[in-house]
Structure 1
Amino acid sequence: MALPIGQGERPLSENLSHPYDGGRLTVQEVMEDVQHPVRSYLPNGILQGVALNDMEDRYPTQEDFNHLFIYSDMAAPLWRWFLPLINPKINMHGQITMRIWSFLLQCNIHSAIGFVSLYCLMLILWEIWKGRCSARYESKRFSARVVINNVRFMVSNSLDKMHFKEEPSTYEIQLLNYFGFTPHASSKSLKLVRWNPPISGLCLNVDGASKGNPGLCGGGGCIRDENGEIMVAFANFYDDGSSMIAEIRALCDGLRLADFLGCRLSSVHTDSWVLANSIEEGISLVE
């Protein structure tokens, strides 16, 4: 409750010997600051026995958000609970804005541990702010345990709907399970890839790639015999283009090289299904 406050039946401001133009302030500010100018305007002893019952009396006009979100009675136990989930590279700065920025820079949301860490941070900050507003305007207080349970529920609910591409390490799984979280990672299927030598004659293998697609691209290949021995190899830079352009030009260069050297090819291999299918179907890929 800001000045004027009730002192008996009269507002405290009516007891001032001079008008005060210093702006809005709380009784707590006046009581805690013995050098406050308002004190010189009040009769001796008038502040003795004043009880700060109104919630607004307990909060200064200008809030310290670093205290609210890091050091307050609500925030401190939440950070202690949260600490094991925080990446060691994150700077636990004393200013909340710098701390949040460090989380944003260091948390990899494509991993389970990074997602949980950043999501917990967001939920904790929201719960602290919600608790602050409830205490100030509704005189309701929430314990840190209630907030932790809320955070756990919301994180677990989100994890149930997600599948991460990166498999968590054994340590990360144990840590997340300790907090009651069960991440789901997409199962990886192993695919065996090997080169099959030609039954007879020579085989041409080609490949192309583009950095950026489109972007700088190149391609190459080799000609092998039935024993897998490389007879000749080539590689060329194709400047700007798409990955398909690189695949096509690599195939073209390989066929021209085989013709120039008089190599009789029994098979041609490419890892581009689109290119191979277009040749079989007689479809033009370049307009």
Structure 2
Amino acid sequence: MRAKYEVPFLWSQAPQRQSHSPPWAQLRKLRHLLQVNCHLLLGNGESNFWDADWTGLGPLRGLLQNNHPPYPLNLKINQVMGPDGLLQNKSFPASLPASVRLHITSEGMSLRQGEDRIIWTRARWAWYPLLPPKIAIFSWKILHKAVLVDIGVKNKGIQMAFACVCCQSEGRSEESLDHLFVGSELASAMWSFFSSSLDVDCLPNQSADIWLARNEHRFENRPFSIQHSINKLINPLPTFSVVKWIRPPRGWVKLNVDGSSRGNTGLSGSGGVCRNKKSEFLFAFAIGYGVGSNFMAKVRAVVDSLKLCKDLGYSNVEVESDSITVVNLFSNTGKAHWFVCYCRHQLDILRSAIATSIKHIPWQANAVADSLARWGSSNQQYWLFHSASDLPCSTRGELVLDRVGLGTIRF
């Protein structure tokens, strides 16, 4: 409906036609079901104020006398509601029932970034944005009894041995949806473990794990153990480390560099910052290269930054790049693209005048150089900063975080 008639949330106003294709005719029959069970999730408030169901009470047009709004029909939500959720027009609240005004205030509705979008209100938790789609779909299938368990097979007239494989004790019950996901020994142990450990009553992904354990035991003949199934859930927890910028050795300066391309291939540039043992700012640069790739910008960043160090009188330079490919290219002497060979030659000339080492660093610890590289690709000019106060605002913040030694979590 939305694509065919360009009426994103006004299901009831889709135009009537005398002839429809068979699929479209079936969709028309579901129009009322969609309108009743769909709800508008507020974003930037570009939807129609009167006809979109953004309050959960239905279209506001139907709550007014004679269904005739006192404002223009094309009134948008963001023309009436501010980002803080307050109604901007002082004369507007009197045109709606007090219960509606109270509902808007008590629900804490407010505008957000992004477009307004329509969501299915039934089992809304199953379609939570951060929930993996396969878990959401499986939860939806459970709610609609679309998961084929033993009782479902029996109801189809197929005779087989009906016993729940997720129970280890004798006298096992038949496998139904309620028994498998709620009352079986495996389900009871999982719900009990996680409710006591995490203080939650329900985790959608646990149902999928119960189903997986059941199928592994029944169809792959894997040994069944309740404790083993629980351990599979808690063992693969993500590991992480804390990365941060490390000061250079005494007598050396550290040069962090990076390259950037807006579109790859697109407008490219490089950036870098040089600091000493005390984390003191020495200089920084941002250079625009014109149209090029992200990889070539990172390669040029190494050579151009070392040329700057030589010109400014720094003789012991430790270079760090977050591209392991670039670091390996300068460390090896094998065949490469002609431009890489040219940069290698330039680096050999520089190494005859200054002592250098090129190392890899995680991108989380290279934030200052990354910010300068994006600045160079955006502005397409040559910038040389001799003072930290001259840096872009976003870069100054990253520089302060490095100086105080604040790390970033890396999974």
By the TM > 0.5 criterion, same fold? Answer: no
Q: With the length of structure 1 as denominator, give the TM-score of the two structures.
A: 0.44
Greater radius of gyration (CA): 1
Q: With the length of structure 2 as denominator, give the TM-score of the two structures.
A: 0.32
